[in-house]
């Protein structure tokens, strides 16, 4: 799994969870959905996201990097 695919999965997970929380708990959770969308929008232009940095530090490889040699 690459950083890019993991990031998309994480964003989708956050959106789904916040929609469920908005439906069953409080509509204020939709602000979280908006923040996730805003972060995705800015990362499309800057190619940077805080979650990408965290995932790379956790050892998830980037699709731009060559696979590790053995």
pLDDT tens sequence across 14-66: 999 999 999 999 999 999 999 999 999 999 899 888 988 899 999 988 877 56
Q: In 39-68, which positions are buried (b, 16+ CB within 10 angstroms) versus exposed (e)?
A: beeebeeeeebeebeebeeeebeeeeeeee
Write down the pTM of the prediction: 0.78
The partner residues of 2 in beta bridges, in order of sequence, read 61
Phi–psi pair at 28, nearest 5 degrees: -65, -20
Instruction: Please tell me the predicted confidence (pLDDT) of residue 3.
Output: 87
């Amino acid at each position: 799994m690459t950083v890019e695919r993991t990031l998309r999965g994480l964003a989708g997970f956050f959106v789904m969870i916040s929609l469920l929380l908005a439906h069953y708990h409080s509509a204020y959770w939709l602000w979280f959905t908006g923040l996730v969308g805003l972060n995705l929008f800015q990362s499309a232009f800057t190619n940077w996201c805080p979650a990408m940095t965290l995932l790379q530090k956790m050892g998830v490889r980037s699709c731009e990097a060559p696979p590790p040699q053995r």
